[in-house]
Amino acid sequence: MNDREMSRRDVLNWLAAAAATGWMLDACAWGEEKDEKSKRPPKLASLMALPNDSAKGIDEPKVIVVRTAKGVAAFPRVCTHRHQELDVDEKDGSIYCPLHGSRFSLEGKPTNGPASRALKWYKVELDQDGSVRVDTRKNVDAGAWAPLPDWAKPKSGK
Ligand code: FES
């Protein structure tokens, strides 16, 4: 082996190590970015398209998002009677079950049977721009409204 061959081999080894390190760094950076993004629940709605005292049915994932003066909540889009997919009444924005006619308040409580159990509440996060993020992996206590940003709160007394 002469010096020239050693040098060529050293260069090739160095290039291979540099490439592997670079790929690993890229992979780490991608992983961190992916992890950072995956920590936040997905945006499923916007306050701009969700009037006060109304509900909106989301198809993917199956969720119902609700807005009232108290804030925003989200429920599974599944009836507590026999698991039929729930819908939202276009006329009054209320939540109903097309199979047997149960109705639910905007707080997820049954107001008309046969369903007798309330809907579970998902964790909701609101961005300042009005994006509604719903974490379907986490439940919160009923009544744990995600507070509206100041600009979206109803104006009182005017
Ligand atoms: S499945 Fe909804 S009321 Fe029966």
Q: pLDDT tens, 41-78?
A: 888 888 988 889 999 999 999 999 999 999 999 999 99
Please check whether residue 123 is in contact with residue 138, taking contact to mean a CB–CB distance below 8 angstroms. yes
Q: For tokens 């009232």, what's the residue?
A: 68
SS3 content of the chain, % helix, strand, coil (to 5): 25, 30, 40
- The ligand 1 site (C-beta within 6 Å) comprises 79, 81-82, 84, 97, 99-100, 102, 114-115
CB 116 within 8 A of CB 110: yes
The pTM (predicted TM-score) of the whole model is 0.73
Low-confidence ranges of the chain (pLDDT < 70): 1-38, 157-158
